[in-house]
Structures are given as C-alpha cells and as structure tokens.
Amino acid sequence: DTAVSQTPKYLVTQMGNDKSIKCEQNLGHDTMYWYKQDSKKFLKIMFSYNNKELIINETVPNRFSPKSPDKAHLNLHINSLELGDSAVYFCASSQDRGSWDYGYTFGSGTRLTVV
C-alpha cells in the first residue's frame, strides 16, 4: 500500500497550458504539503494544509493554487504553465504540523516538464 501517492508520475505539457497534480495519503495524517525541487536539486516548500485549512503559503506565483477537498487529499493546480515551472513536485504528509514523532512521509514525486 502506497502511503503518499501522486499522479501523474510524469507530465509533459506546453507553455500556457493548465495542469493538475493529485496527491492522496492513506496514513490518516492531518497535514499535507507541496514541495518543489528544481534542477539544482533544492527542495522548497510551497504550501501546507492542516485539516483542509491553508497554513503555509510561501512566495509562490498565484498561478499555483492548492486545493484540499478533505484531509487525505491535496491537489496542485497550475495555470498558464511557464518553462520555469519545470521541476519535480513532491507531496508530503505528517501527523501534525510539527510532526514530532514520525517525520514527514513524502510521495515519489511528479516530474513536470514544460516545453
């Protein structure tokens, strides 16, 4: 059973398109996150939701919009895709905001390529 699953695994799309990445966790965690890993391999947090409430919103272009229909799902919608959006996007979840006991569980990533 996959704890944090993301779909799709690979996404190739043209500039200007709108796309969504889905994330689901079956761990019963309360908090979910989106991270972006760019070509230089830096991992940066983008958003975090706790029980469907947005709690972290880093400096991210407003073309990126997270949506959490319930605490087990956190989707990422990207409008008007740009070349610079090409990256690997990781979803993660944790039991609580600070995740003292077990840390974050990350998904396997979605490699987005904008051409």
Partner 1 sequence: DAKTTQPPSMDCAEGRAANLPCNHSTISGNEYVYWYRQIHSQGPQYIIHGLKNNETNEMASLIITEDRKSSTLILPHATLRDTAVYYCIVAGNTGKLIFGQGTTLQVKP
Among 13, 65, 86, 105, binds partner 1 (CB under 8 A): 105
Shorter beta-carbon distance to partner 1: residue 63 or 97: 97
Q: CA 54 to CA 44: how far, in whole Å?
A: 17
Q: CA 93 to CA 35: how far, in whole Å?
A: 11
Q: How many residues does the chain have?
A: 115
Enter the DSSP assignment of 85: G
- Using the rule CB under 8 A, give the single segment among 15-23, 69-77, 79-87, 100-108 that binds partner 1: 100-108
- Using the rule CB under 8 A, give the single segment among 15-23, 27-35, 68-76, 77-85 that binds partner 1: 27-35
